[in-house]
Amino acid sequence: MSELKSMKPTGVLHFAIGVSDLEEGRKFYEDVLGCTYLRQNDTTVFMKAGGDHFVLTNTKHHTRPNPPGEYEFHHAFIVESEDFDAALKHVEEAGYPILVYEDEGHRTFTGRHGYIQDPFGNSIEIIDFHGVGDFSKPDFKGRGRRQKPAKETPS
């Protein structure tokens, strides 16, 4: 009998983003984020961002993964450093406000970060990616702003 080995993925082919309207989703990801349409069937739109792929999937019973204004569950899209400011301006002018802008504090994926929400409650991180950070550094103390305050218990 052979010994079982652990799985060793060589990459990620694509990820799926849930939407309730394929045409509206395609329009957002093409027109607002600048992604490339590849093809479509009755439940899925196949898209490309640079050399990476993702799919928009009509979940039929879509539930917003984030409440309005929140961004914790998100998908990150990389833009070139020289295009970052224009990208944020473009999404705002298209009607998608920047929920949070950060240019410090990210210890793992460094760079400037802006977060928006698509029409379906999927949060999108737009990042001017500077590289993987130094894991030996302590966590950024400002991360507490991302945590909801603890509810006070009645005395």
Domain segments of the chain: what residues? Answer: 14-135
pLDDT of the residue at 71: 87
Fold of 14-135: 2,3-Dihydroxybiphenyl 1,2-Dioxygenase; domain 1 (3.10.180)
pLDDT of the residue at 3: 78
Quote the CA–CA distance of 30 and 143 in Å, as a whole number.
32
Quote the CA–CA distance of 79 and 126 in Å, as a whole number.
7
Copy the structure tokens of residue 154: 């009645």
Phi/psi for 25 (5° steps) reads -65, -45
Count of other CB atoms within 10 angstroms of residue 106: 17
Q: Kindly give the residue spans of alpha helices, DSSP state H, lying in 28-132.
A: 84-93
User: What is the chain's pLDDT, residue by residue, as a tens digit (155 residues)?
Assistant: 567 789 988 889 999 999 999 999 999 999 999 999 999 999 999 999 999 999 999 988 888 999 998 888 899 999 999 999 999 999 999 999 999 998 877 778 889 999 999 999 999 999 999 888 877 777 666 555 544 444 555 55
